[in-house]
Structure 1
Amino acid sequence: MDSSPDTTTDTRLSPELVEHFVEHFDHHDARLGADPFAVSTAMRERCPVAHSDVHDGFWVVSNYADARAIMQDPTVFTSAKGARIPAGGKHRPLPPLETDPPDHKKFRGLIAKAFSPRNINALEPKIRKLCDMLIGQFEAKGECDFIRDFAAPLPTTIFVEMMGLPLEDTERFHTWATLINHQAHAGDTAMSAGEAQQQTLAYLAELIEARKQNPQDDLMTALLDAVVDDEPIDPEDMLYMVFLLFLGGLDTVTSAMSFMFQHLAERPDLRQQIVDDPTVIPSAVEEFLRYEPVIMIGRGVTEDVELSGCPVKADDRVLINSIAANRDPAEFADPDTIDFSRDANRHLTFGVGPHRCVGSHLARLELRIVLEEFHARIPHYRITEGTTPTRHMNQVNGLDTLPLTWSV
């Protein structure tokens, strides 16, 4: 095992800009994407609970212990006031993410069965077949844009089929999800995040009505048949539950997969470990999830409380800086090293407590299969010469492009 620190991150933030973000943390600022790790490390070491004055003010929690405690205490740190900072264009909470117990358990139970290990494991043949088909489209070319050609279509296709969304509208779904999740990174489209949200909600509402008239064997139909407190789901709750699933299913696994392959392309030693011994892949998945968390989650505060000696008041907002917490040396030995043999990897990427990610089983399965199938076909690859992957920052982080090249 090569235990040398990972050196692939290109630190391009000046000391002055790092200092600016420490004092005025803004996860929506595109400049942070150049090196969020330098900023996160500085915040955790100097002020693990810091106040930012942007977006009407909020606290940034960068140490592991406080982050974990917040996730496990929905009474003091409520999700009902919204998980995003700022709240954006939403008109009402997204269940179950933005609800608290006991309502949270009721809503989560409606989708938990579909994402159970048993049901997700049954998807393995379909995921492997899709991997094989996608790789076959570019293997002989010796190059691909990993995100466009693989990391985006694979999880999207699986999720779209689970939900019962039309496959022919996948490109439109991606445009909407990208605009909503990465508001400052709209690409060439002139559409705003708010407009994308309204178009998505209108589309999903129309599809829900169609399912009422013509039920299918999919998750959307199952939700229509479900009840909460012996009553059918409130129509608006139904719409916003589907909207939440839409946002999560079309973006997060793509981002996690892209981060994994960026590091593997830049670190032949890590890639060789997978090629030589595929049994390390489940541990590698967990380590990459720790090293590159995709989501930073917000909470509202219901009562006055102290976090690492800082007096946080009722009605304040807190943002969990998962990038910093997942590299806290108080929890992880050599946290800046990617180590596939790491024991007790209690990363916070999927959350903990009642709001632990319901889609974690699906994400882990997809990431494991991708590492197995891709490296069985294309074991040696690199980032295309003359290109640099660029990171977008928001509460959902990811890469815009990842051009890869290999010998054929």
Structure 2
Amino acid sequence: MIKLSEIYAAKEKIYDVAIKTPFTFSRFLSNDEKKVWLKCENLQTIGAYKIRGAYNKISSLSDEQKKIGVIAASAGNHAQGVAFSANYFKINANIIMPESTPLTKVENTMKLGANVILKGDNFDEAYAYAKELEKEKGYCFIHPFADNFVMAGQGTIFLEMIEDLSIIDYIIAPIGGGGLISGIASAAKQINPNIKIIGVQAKGANAMKTSFYNKKITNSKGVKTIADGIAVKNVDDICFKHILECVDEIVECDEDEIANAVLFLLEQHKMVIEGAGAISVAAIMHEKIKNLKGNIACILSGGNIDVTMLSNIIEKGLVKSYRKMQIKVTLVDKAGALLDLTKALKEAKANIIKVDYDRLSADFGDANITITIETKGKDHQELVCKTLNKYSFIFKEL
């Protein structure tokens, strides 16, 4: 475990740059048996919890180390935490980010004054290159998770939660490299050993879960997930030991479940949360953890989601929840044919939002119409289909 004294020491320092984030009750996730609370690290200074650990580490450096500068590898949030902290101390920061890092995270890191280099397909490849530069240039490496100062900084999240809610029965937190849950679990277990600590991983990046249940490090061959903040392929030995000691259970969520949670938090709680940040809520929504009772603390680790990814999640969510449908209709290519179709859709009270008219893919004398409409649920979509059948339209749902 990270010593509790180190976590309290971190708490004395981090508010130079960090804030105490809201710990909000969720009536949408709660019921008679469980009360769910959301720790909103998406509202942190840089939009994620990473500022805590990064600042705690950089503030501990010697004057000589600060003079040389720092280097880090990150999928985005740690990069911003290091850049912000380095800028605070007026020191040089070099950040290696995977080439797939969302543009918003790259731009935000650069705006904070860091030198950004895009390298590799994932975090582990970016990390390997950062370690090469560390040796070559003599920079001080700021590890995103496997560092006691970093983990102690992340552990301050628990100290804040226990100030706001004296009784916590479960803590649900995302796991990428494991620094966040190691810090939180270390603090929680030393203050109250009865608190259950549940980690959540993406199905496409679940090396820590596999290692946890095998009781030995088992790395993944590759990672693929919309939760880019926790897309870590290899398990670090330091964090693995903390997790074996302090964490009670690890579960996983697939891509659709993570996307559902992002959309749920946007619609119900009016909060923009990235995939890694929403995965703790996804675990509750999709009942990954059995027999949850009492006060449940969910860590929303960040809100730095790429707007293109958010748009895709919203679009797919609208389709899955029967609020948008796309149909392809074959019409005789003559005047008034499209009008007849729109009259039928009007009768079904479906709102048209997009129409594509294509003669080339149809037989001579016909046209294929791809039409996107807004609907009000599954029953409404069934009514649309019934109405089109009533008027003998040839169509299929896409």
TM-score surpassing 0.5?
A: no
Q: Which has the higher contact order (CA 8 A, sep 6+)?
A: 1
Q: TM-score, normalised on structure 2?
A: 0.27
Larger Rg, first or second structure (1 or 2): 2
User: Larger % of strand: which?
Assistant: 2
Q: TM-score, normalised on structure 1?
A: 0.27
User: Larger % of helix: which?
Assistant: 1
